[in-house]
């Protein structure tokens, strides 16, 4: 009896609950966007986007609302079909993104309300959900976003920030090679947003996936990204490298200067658009 109990207890010693994510080697996937265009009806949203994102790079995409930045992510995730051009993954090896390699975080948490927090995280494992150790991976990931104690709760009882953390855990649990972030922090309050930005940066540094962040918050883009891309009139208007040391302080001189430059450009574009509209 006692030996059985010991044997049963042994595995838990091998998997101590730590704040570390399930170990994953740096394995970002390079993405090349080649002449990508998309139109809805007669309305061209993207007109020939060319972009190379290196493996493990953090790229932020900014632009005014309706500029097509979210459409770009949806095309990448194969949720929509391009009207022209396309993608190359892993240095030209694949044209369509392997659904297991890319994960997405939406602006809304989009958790299944009828599944517990832990079951929602397991959605991110896809077909591996039934594999040995799947539950443990989900638990470790939930622990990494500091929500291990909510594992059996319904999503309805969580706060907005907690829901978005569960959504992040769901996106990360499979160890994705690309993480597409579609304004994931847009609906959060300022304090929660800063905490989430730190968490996302930590996770990205730890796992080394390629991150594509669509955001309307220029400060967020400058704080997190290696490169900031600005889309205007369906094309890339600005491609700016951010060479500031991490962790970056929100409001520091370097961040503020870059943020100012990008905002100026965005606003001048907006002024231009207004003038054309008036005419």
Contacts with other proteins, residue ranges (CB under 8 A): 77, 79, 99-100, 103-104, 106, 108, 110, 112-115, 123-124, 126-127, 154, 156, 170
Q: Report the nearest approach of other proteins to the CB of residue 110 (Å).
A: 4
* Residue among 115 and 148 whose Cβ is closer to other proteins: 115
Given phi > 0 = left and psi -120 to 50 = alpha, else beta, which region is 19?
Answer: alpha
Q: Report the nearest approach of other proteins to the CB of residue 76 (Å).
A: 11
* Residue among 97 and 203 whose Cβ is closer to other proteins: 97
Q: Report the nearest approach of other proteins to the CB of residue 129 (Å).
A: 9
* Residue among 181 and 218 whose Cβ is closer to other proteins: 181
Q: Report the nearest approach of other proteins to the CB of residue 99 (Å).
A: 4
* Residue among 167 and 223 whose Cβ is closer to other proteins: 167
CA of 41: how far to CAs of 20, 38, 83, 213, 234, in Å? 47, 10, 11, 27, 15
Calpha distance 72→86 (Å, rounded): 10
Joined tokens for residue 264: 């100026």
Q: Which of 42-57 are b and which e, b meaning 16 or more Cβ less than 10 Å from the residue's Cβ?
A: eebbbbebebebebbb
Q: Report the nearest approach of other proteins to the CB of residue 127 (Å).
A: 7
Joined tokens for residue 60: 């932020």
* Residue among 123 and 148 whose Cβ is closer to other proteins: 123
Q: Report the nearest approach of other proteins to the CB of residue 225 (Å).
A: 22
Q: Give the neighbor-by-neighbor strand order of the sheet with 235-241.
A: 102-105, 178-182, 210-214, 58-62, 227-232, 235-241
* Residue among 101 and 185 whose Cβ is closer to other proteins: 101
Cis peptide before 247 (omega within 30 of 0): yes
Q: State the DSSP code for 126.
A: G
């Amino acid at each position: 009896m006692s030996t059985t109990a010991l044997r049963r207890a042994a595995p838990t010693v091998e998997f101590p609950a730590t704040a570390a994510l399930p170990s994953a080697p740096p394995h970002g996937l390079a993405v090349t966007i080649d002449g990508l265009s998309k139109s809805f009806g007669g309305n061209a949203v993207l007109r020939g986007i060319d972009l190379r994102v290196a493996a493990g790079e953090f790229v932020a995409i900014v632009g005014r609302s309706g500029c097509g930045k979210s459409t770009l992510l949806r095309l990448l995730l194969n949720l929509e079909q391009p009207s022209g051009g396309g993608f190359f993954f892993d240095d030209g090896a694949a044209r369509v993104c392997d659904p297991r390699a890319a994960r997405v975080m939406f602006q809304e948490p989009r958790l299944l309300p009828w599944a517990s927090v832990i079951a929602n995280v397991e959605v991110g494992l896809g077909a591996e959900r039934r594999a040995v150790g799947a539950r443990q991976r989900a638990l470790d990931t939930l622990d990494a976003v500091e929500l291990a104690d909510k594992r059996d709760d319904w999503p309805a009882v969580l706060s907005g920030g907690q829901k978005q953390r569960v959504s992040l855990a769901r996106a990360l649990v499979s160890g994705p090679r690309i993480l597409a972030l579609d304004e994931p922090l847009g609906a959060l309050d300022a304090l929660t947003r800063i905490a989430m930005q730190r968490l996302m940066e930590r996770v990205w540094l730890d796992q080394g996936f390629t991150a594509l962040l669509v955001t309307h918050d220029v400060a967020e883009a400058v704080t997190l990204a290696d490169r900031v891309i600005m889309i205007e009139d369906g094309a890339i208007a600005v491609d700016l490298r951010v060479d500031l040391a991490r962790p970056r302080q929100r409001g520091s001189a370097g961040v503020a200067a870059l943020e100012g430059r990008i905002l100026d450009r965005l606003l001048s574009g907006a002024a231009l658009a207004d003038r054309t509209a008036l005419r």
